[in-house]
Structure 1
């Protein structure tokens, strides 16, 4: 086999692979294994500084001589808003495509079909019905737009930094999630399937209620966090205070609990027999590991930190 034929064979294999699904599986494995090392084995084995640098940021940032050498790989934490700017553009395009394909019954534009072929697979079959896909996409868009608003007008970021890997993951997460959802909807598969909107079913109601509960809890919790820094001098804004009120009374990271609930709600709407399960598993693993890091930081920083608080799940973890 020549070098060129090997190259084209490799490209063809990648083309057949569902890159979005692979990405979420890869992210889940990495955050689970790396998070376990940082959260549970740091006292037993010495975690590599590069691993600590990749997992800890902001108030938890790992500071060593090695990590300072890696400062070139960091970006300001306030760049979180970039995630939601790009995500808002992607989900808006997705909403327009769904309206065009599912409501106006237009054909999927060639550029959109090619994008789905490359990012997922050219052999797509419907895994959800049109109603489930439309409800889930609208709720996901609502979440993204709200997070953009919060990042621009509610949150008060410190001068902390995050690893460039966080920045990359933040952008690819929303692109992958929206693309994966569309790729399983009728009208976006190959060949294009017949689109039929069914009535609202019980799983749509249950999933929406779970989603909206998480939606409200997350906004409330982020407003409480922002309130700890607002109306204070610049130097005081860099100081961290112990959060109180709302679900902060029972868990250290209610906003992360809410994030898990949001995606579980979408999973209930879409059902278990589709690739959205991998998106949910990634969100669950990521939020749990980061919540555990935050919880330990709170315990180490505030000597009077309430002992009854758990990290993310009330009375459990």
Structure 2
């Protein structure tokens, strides 16, 4: 019943076991990661890099946060960039998806190099699944879009609202990452309570805008895989934001209790 309600918004599912399997795997794995964050089983990067580790940190292979993030984002960026050469002249919607994904990861690499100020490390055991997730999801989304060639367009065209949402999402995400980077002076590594923008309402506005950006991408794509991945991303970032709010509450007595995790005034 729910699936039939989505049919006006989706391309017909292509006869591809890979795309079908990836749709389920992406949703389940991201959703499970979100539940794990709530249960304090964190992906070990950023402020959670050495929290509640099952293995002594000294016995694990560590990367600097900067190196770990570059390792995580670069393969996905290259997959997006290569899609223009691998699948040339596949129409406006395909070009928009490839451009959006490539721009998304280019922005992330740019932020790693020129915006973010890092204070911790990344465990290799976290870097590997993050890298694979970004790369495989990008490749799967592009391939799923390629398989829509020759199929009838969805009755309801969402690609232009999707472009608007994507631009709002990527801009808002960058702005709040910039605000986070300005919290620390030169040489400082300690965490502070973020201020400005939507930080006065939620502790993770950068996650909120990332969700908006991926909703935009799924609207541009209108494939089952894109919607499955976006829904899984929402679950993961919801769990991560809830864990982040709990972390700030535990670290800062002055953390304002009315600041929510992800959605202003609600959650």
TM-score above 0.5: yes
Maintained 8 Å contact 1:207/1:264: yes
Alignment of 1:89-238 (within 5 A): 89-98=78-87, 100-102=88-90, 130-158=91-119, 160-186=120-146, 188=147, 193-194=149-150, 203-230=158-185, 232=186, 234=187, 237-238=188-189
Question: Structure 1 residues 216, 226: CA separation in 2 closer, same or farther (over 3 Å shift)?
Answer: same
Bigger RCO (CA 8 Å, 6+ sep): 2
- CA–CA separation in structure 2 for the residues paired with 1:297 and 1:315: 19
User: When the two structures are superposed, what TM-score results if normalisation uses the length of structure 2?
Assistant: 0.81
- CA–CA separation in structure 1 for the residues paired with 2:113 and 2:159: 31
Q: What do residues 3-23 of structure 1 show as CA deviations (whole Å, max 9, x unaligned)?
A: xxxxxxxxxxxx955453343
Question: Structure 1 residues 210, 204: CA separation in 2 closer, same or farther (over 3 Å shift)?
Answer: same
Deviation at 1:71, TM superposition (A): 3.9
Q: 3-state SS of the aligned residue for 2:122? A: strand
- CA–CA separation in structure 1 for the residues paired with 2:249 and 2:204: 13
Deviation at 1:292, TM superposition (A): 1.1
Deviation at 1:263, TM superposition (A): 0.5
Maintained 8 Å contact 2:204/2:241: yes
1:72 matched residue in structure 2: 60
Deviation at 1:26, TM superposition (A): 3.9
- CA–CA separation in structure 2 for the residues paired with 1:244 and 1:254: 11
Maintained 8 Å contact 2:116/2:181: yes
2:13 matched residue in structure 1: none
Q: Report whether the alignment pairs 1:243 with 2:198.
A: no
Q: Report whether the alignment pairs 1:258 with 2:209.
A: yes
Question: Structure 1 residues 164, 26: CA separation in 2 closer, same or farther (over 3 Å shift)?
Answer: farther
Q: 3-state SS of the aligned residue for 1:59? A: helix
The structure with the largest alpha-carbon Rg is 1
1:296 matched residue in structure 2: 246
Q: 3-state SS of the aligned residue for 1:139? A: helix
Deviation at 1:239, TM superposition (A): 1.2
Any gaps of 5 or more consecutive residues in structure 2? Answer: 1-15
Question: Structure 1 residues 156, 32: CA separation in 2 closer, same or farther (over 3 Å shift)?
Answer: closer
Any gaps of 5 or more consecutive residues in structure 1? Answer: 1-14, 39-51, 103-129
Maintained 8 Å contact 1:77/1:157: yes
- CA–CA separation in structure 2 for the residues paired with 1:62 and 1:152: 23
Which ranges of 4 or more aligned residues in structure 1 deviate by more than 6 Å?
none
User: When the two structures are superposed, what TM-score results if normalisation uses the length of structure 1?
Assistant: 0.70
1:46 matched residue in structure 2: none
Residues paired across the two proteins, number: 248
Question: Structure 1 residues 308, 64: CA separation in 2 closer, same or farther (over 3 Å shift)?
Answer: closer
Question: Structure 1 residues 265, 56: CA separation in 2 closer, same or farther (over 3 Å shift)?
Answer: same
- CA–CA separation in structure 2 for the residues paired with 1:57 and 1:202: 38
Q: What do residues 177-207 of structure 1 show as CA deviations (whole Å, max 9, x unaligned)?
A: 2222222234x57xxx5489x8xx8522211
- CA–CA separation in structure 2 for the residues paired with 1:33 and 1:195: 36
